[in-house]
Amino acid sequence: MIARLLALLLVLAGAGVLVAVFRPEPPAEAIELASSRQCLECHADVAAEWQASHHSIAYTNPEVVKLSQDFRNEECLACHAPRPVLLFAPGERVLARASERALGVDCLACHAHPDGGVATSNPRPSAKAPCRPRTTPRIQDVDHCGSCHNQHATVEQWRASPAEIEGQPIKGDGCLHCHMPVAWRAGGRQGSDHSFRAGHDLGALQQAVRLTGEWRAGALVRLVNFGAAHNFPTDERSRAADLQLRWRQGGEWGEWQHLWRFRDPYRDETDLTNTQLPSGETWEQQVDAPPGADGAEARLLYRTNPFQPDDEATEVARLLLEP
């Protein structure tokens, strides 16, 4: 009797396990996505990268606040506190949003899908994710970045860039292979780095250009843009990269002298031309040595604005030339 009861219980328990295994798990409740602060709570790894990026400070960046007169110039709001890009046609310029401007270029700006949920490049996103990811190939397009980054023609420069340089693929199919490299997520999932390192990062600058040269009765100096699929420096007109040269005479180094500036001038600087270095191109100049010189040194300084003094600029490269 007891044995029979136990057997019956075991059968019932077994059936219970089967039911538990085969019953499809109900999808998690979809959530209303009203603020990027919600994303930060669930996607801590991406959030930390974004927080370290210039996208997160687009509205609070002191440089921008100063230049826009605390955004009294409302033209500046559009890209620095934007509405979601996917609300606009591909490549069309974004418009400013009214709420939570301090979050700058936030998660919703790039991910909010016009039909609800979030845009992802993943062809098979999780159906259970509470933020309801939707496959949206457009999020990977150059035009997605171009809604804000083509003001100074970065996307056009990318279109004109070579497929490869020195045998290495450069152009790819957009911006992401360089600007969103692979980042590993919890559980071994492959993700995309959201820290967008560029002009403020020495490593990124050194990936873009190489300084070479030789001693030829003086200094022959070359700079090659071998690693950026657009001009160097690109985009923001305030960027400037300066080559400087100094001579060694009787064992003493002289003062640094200006050799060349790579820059797209401000609109009102009508006496200047665009001297940015296009993707794959080499700039070269020969400077004859002054009498008695037995060595030269060249260096490349990157300035986030054209008036930044030498000691605040980033030294990207330095090169010693001797007979």
Q: Omega into 233 within 30° of 0, i.e. cis?
A: yes
How far, CA to CA in Å, does 92 sit from each of 87, 149, 216?
Answer: 10, 11, 51
Under the binding rule (CB under 6 A), the answer on residue 265 touching ligand HEC is no
Under the binding rule (CB under 6 A), the answer on residue 139 touching ligand HEC is yes
- Selected range binding ligand HEC among 4-12, 16-24, 189-197, 259-267, rule: CB under 6 A: 189-197
Under the binding rule (CB under 6 A), the answer on residue 234 touching ligand HEC is yes
Under the binding rule (CB under 6 A), the answer on residue 129 touching ligand HEC is yes
For ligand HEC, the binding residue among 52, 88, 91, 93 (CB under 6 A) is: 93
| Distance from C-alpha of 321 to C-alpha of 299, rounded to nearest angstrom | 11
| Distance from C-alpha of 1 to C-alpha of 13, rounded to nearest angstrom | 18
| Distance from C-alpha of 196 to C-alpha of 209, rounded to nearest angstrom | 18
Under the binding rule (CB under 6 A), the answer on residue 192 touching ligand HEC is yes
Under the binding rule (CB under 6 A), the answer on residue 185 touching ligand HEC is yes
CB distance 160 to 231 below 8 Å: no
Contact characters 31-60, ligand HEC, x per CB under 6 A = x-x--x-xxx-xx--xx--x---xx-xx--
**Please, which residue, 183 or 220, has the CB nearer to ligand HEC?**
183
Q: Which of 110, 250, 281, 277 is nearest to 180 (CA)?
A: 110
- Binding to ligand HEC (CB under 6 A): which residues in 281-320? 304
Under the binding rule (CB under 6 A), the answer on residue 194 touching ligand HEC is yes
Beta-carbon-side half-sphere exposure of residue 239 (alpha carbons within 13 Å)? 20
Under the binding rule (CB under 6 A), the answer on residue 82 touching ligand HEC is yes
At closest approach, how far in Å is the CB of 153 from ligand HEC? 10
